[in-house]
Amino acid sequence: MAIYIPIPDGFPPPPPIVTDTTPLILDEATRALYTRAISDPSSLTDHERRLITRRPPKEEEDTLCRGACGLSMDTLIAKAINSTVHDPSDTNEIINNYDSVNLPELPLSKIEAGILTVGVAGAVQKRTLESINEWARLSPEDRDLKQRAMQAATTDDVRAARKVAAGVQKRWSDVRHAAREALNDDDTRNIRAAMKVPWQDHVLKGGGDRFGLVVFYSEDEEREERAGEGKGESRLALYKSQIGTAIYHALHYPISLVRDETRARFALHWVAVLTNTSGYENRGSDDVVDLSALRSQFRTMLSSEEIPDGFRRDAFLYVDEETFRSRETARPYVWLAEPEPESQHESETQQASGTESEPRPEHETENETGTGTGNPPPSKVLPPLKVDIKHIAPALFARLVQRDFQGEARRKPYRYTSELSQLHHAATVAYRKWGRREGDGIWPPPYRMQ
């Protein structure tokens, strides 16, 4: 069935997709080279091996390889070979060895494994389709001859390095598959939309070894966690693990879009709140947290520089009895809130200390942007927002980083900007407008409604 896609006026038609299907016949010189490679591989020169295996000249290959991963091809091959302690002749043993290895502990990065597996022509120059097209144009006999020649021309060190690379790629593939299983279609669309925001460039150039969000929880949960040592994990530990797994899947679904440094540096900064300060009361009550106290404490942490560099200073997360109960639902969530206005916090502090406020210099009251950490909201504080734990990062964090941008960058690719009022709007009013039904009140709604 043909699908007609109209082209707007003023736009040129797209160029036609042309695939060369002309049969490709090996010339006599190439056929003789392939035959000699199969019968006597040791007679091949380095130049001939590169011709057969489609590797660029050494200088060009090393330049491309260094540009992609910082290593020459020979150094990369040696790195892969020296990383394994298993018998390189047992492919399955090497591949399975990485099944339980954390990604940062793998012997090769994803790009390094890709270079070894498909070569720089495929991994860096993106010429894999060109090779596949040439392969498809050969006759079955010539295709078999070429395949046998390439296997014979591949040196033992390259073959051993590729086995290690295959194990690394399998581990990445397993992680991607687990992320796909954990996320539905709306989740993946929201994640892909968030990756259109240039938030990584913004935060990676900022200060601090880490970046992320502060999360408040009751010290009662921490006491329970300590008291329950040896008796199984507390519900706080279990929810922390559940949240960590959700973030892990979300940051590993778009594997090629999220940088390794981003995954390594994003974190949640968990802060226990004193019971007599936070207003946490008897467990089981629906009103278990004094949100105004949390907002005030966050503001105090800001003024006393207790918020680590790189962490958002305009918003925080918290968990309470309601969020703990959401763990078993389809969309577990945490609360997103903002600190109280600075003027209100100063007023309350001065009333408690019996001092009066002094006017601030004009240059200190102006908003600052580009810090990667945001600024506390200037006036009205809105109620907290439920946030799906699968979208703490990258979706929520990307939207918060957009507050640091100027112009259209504060909104695109969304309809609305990322102020808390607009996030509330997207989860409620926009849901009814675009989805024509009531949502669950949890952010984010499907991407089409944002």
Could you report the per-residue pLDDT of 404-431, keeping only the tens digit for each?
Answer: 999 999 999 999 899 999 999 988 887 7
| Rounded Cα–Cα distance for residues 396 and 174 (Å) | 25
- Cβ pair 326, 334 in contact under 8 A: no
At residue 83 the predicted structure's pLDDT band, cuts being 50, 70 and 90, is confident
Could you report the per-residue pLDDT of 121-145, keeping only the tens digit for each?
Answer: 887 777 777 788 888 899 999 999 9
* Predicted pLDDT at 274: 74
- Mean per-residue pLDDT for 211-238? 81
| Rounded Cα–Cα distance for residues 384 and 377 (Å) | 14
For tokens 């002309």, what's the residue? 22
Cα torsion 332, 177, 120, 138 to 10°: value is -150
Angle (nearest 5°) at CA 266 between 264 and 269:
125
Could you report the per-residue pLDDT of 361-409, keeping only the tens digit for each?
Answer: 333 333 333 344 555 444 567 899 999 999 999 999 999 999 999 999 9
Predicted confidence (pLDDT) at residue 356 exceeds the cutoff of 70: no
Q: What is the pTM of this model?
A: 0.77
Most confident of 98-102, 223-227, 388-392: 388-392
Q: Taking the domains of the chain in order of start, what are their residue ranges?
A: 28-180, 183-354+370-449
- Sequence length of the chain is 450
DSSP 8-state class, residue 416: S
At residue 448 the predicted structure's pLDDT band, cuts being 50, 70 and 90, is confident
- Cβ pair 161, 107 in contact under 8 A: no
Could you report the per-residue pLDDT of 33-72, keeping only the tens digit for each?
Answer: 999 999 999 999 999 999 999 999 999 999 999 999 999 9
